[in-house]
Structure 1
Amino acid sequence: MTTRLTFHGPLSSARADAIVDRLSANRPHTVLDIGCGWGELLLRVLEAVPEARGTGVDLNEADLARGRRSAEERGLTGRVDFLAESARDTAHGPADLVLCVGASQALSDADCPTAEALRSLRRLVTDGGRVLLGEGIWDRRPTEAELAGMWPGAATSDHLSLAELLDLAVASGFRPEWTETATLSEWEHFESGYQAAQEVWLAANPAATETRNRLDRHRAQWMSYRGVLGMAYLTLVPVLR
């Protein structure tokens, strides 16, 4: 359960509000959220731009259900669709604003999907539109010992540096309007909030071995990438072709 989180990633409400202010200034009429999850950022954009309509695409039915409930609570049901389908070769574009936050893998099967995802995002955004790309980066190159403690099969090739990501975005037909990265505080809020409710439950149910092992394993992985794995939020402007 991740009930203590507003965003499924290292993104504070203050940063999200600033991003929404910047994106809504372009007055998008159509918003497409790739790998939308709960769709919180999508819904905030729709609240900020009353004339906009949004589409969220994801394969996780539980996340989509949460997004639909949130849309209903905010009176946005008639302006947004949460669709259980793959984003590969989606027909729901081009859109004036495309959100792809932590979801490059929804657009590519590659081990490092960023390059293919950026090419797809250029196809999915209108000329004059915007793309918000949230992408994992290495804040610094991990050591072999750090990699060994991360997710199974972790390799330095899994992510780019911020400079490499920006160069790749430019090579893919974009100019970076805004570049920012998650803070350590945002990461700690995310990682703590991700497990907090389960940790409290486990303290009252100490015999739950499977849950304890899972939580301990994730905490150990986090300690291996804490301060190493980062998250970039790039607001990208498509170059006219």
Structure 2
Amino acid sequence: MTDTTAPNLPPRLTGLTFHGPLSEARAARLVERVAPGTGSVLDLGCGWGELLLRVLEAAPDATGVGVDVSADDLARGRALAKERGLAERVSFVEESATDTTRGPADLVLCLGASHALSSAEPPGHTEAALRELRRVVSPGGRVVLGEGFWQRTPTPAELAGMWPGAHAGEHLFLGDLVDAAIAADFRPLWVETASAEEWEEFESGYRTDVEEWLAAHPGHPLAAETREKADRQRDTWLRGYRQVLGLAYLTLMPVG
């Protein structure tokens, strides 16, 4: 029987605080590390900009700009900023981060969004993103880059379980990623990686709204399509990149 009283769409990502495998504890350490002395913050591929907002809370004289192409995420960011009394100090702008004219900024954030800075094919997009980040950070400033890397070489079966076209050359290993940052004229002040627990919280939180909606409205006209998409996404993680793909958080300082 079709449930005609159900909402048209399930809620979106309300189970996530950060749009990535980032714990409260790690976020607090990042903010503590980069907020002192920061006057301007630029968040490229910001989503709803949770880390950006936390930096602004810790640096009361700072202003920030978040750039993304998702209108829904930007609206969530604006609402959060208003709730926390930060609306006058931050702008959320709907535009592409590729070849951005924003900056330079004292602190540049790019968390899991390096693909938004360049049209280069992987893994070349990582090197291209690092060059862009070097261009938009102020002298003496900081960059926090959240970037994927292979924890080990994926097997053919794991690659087949990932996203379409996944290949072993798509990501760098952690040492090569840090080398790429150095080649882009940065020094790595801090190198850390998301834990298995952070990944599990993110992956489960990413789908929890949809799973609750599917359980409550199995007869909805959109249920079959939504269920197929959610199951495919979960399988991509569990049978593909789980414990293979890592996420590094690099705190970088430009040379000179």
TM superposition score category, shorter chain reference: over 0.9
How far 1:203 moved relative to its partner? 1.6
Identity %: 62
Contact 2:144–2:249 under 8 Å retained in 1: yes
* Counterpart Cα distance in 2 of 1:136 and 1:161: 9
Residue equivalent to 2:30: 19
How far 1:195 moved relative to its partner? 0.5
| 1:168-218 Cα deviation digits (max 9, x unpaired) | 000000000000000000000000001012112212223421111111111
How far 1:157 moved relative to its partner? 1.8
Report the number of matched residues: 239
* Counterpart Cα distance in 1 of 2:68 and 2:227: 29
Q: Which has the higher helix share?
A: 1
Residue equivalent to 1:233: 249
**Map 1:10-49 → 2, pairs under 5 A:** 10-25=21-36, 27-49=37-59
Asked if 1:197 corresponds to 2:209, the answer is yes
Residue equivalent to 1:106: 116
Identify which of 74, 77, 83 aligns with 1:64: 74
Identify which of 107, 114, 117 aligns with 1:97: 107
> 3-state DSSP class of the match of 1:158?
coil
Residue 105 of structure 1 aligns to which amino acid in structure 2? H
Residue 219 of structure 1 aligns to which amino acid in structure 2? R
Contact 2:141–2:253 under 8 Å retained in 1: yes
| 1:95-130 Cα deviation digits (max 9, x unpaired) | 100001111111101122100000011110011000
> 3-state DSSP class of the match of 2:20?
coil
* Counterpart Cα distance in 2 of 1:98 and 1:45: 11
* Counterpart Cα distance in 1 of 2:216 and 2:142: 47
How far 1:87 moved relative to its partner? 1.4
* Counterpart Cα distance in 1 of 2:45 and 2:167: 23
Asked if 1:152 corresponds to 2:152, the answer is no
User: TM-score when scaled to structure 1?
Assistant: 0.97
Asked if 1:213 corresponds to 2:238, the answer is no
Which residues of structure 2 form unaligned runs of 5+? 1-11
User: TM-score when scaled to structure 2?
Assistant: 0.92
Residue 254 of structure 2 aligns to which amino acid in structure 1? P
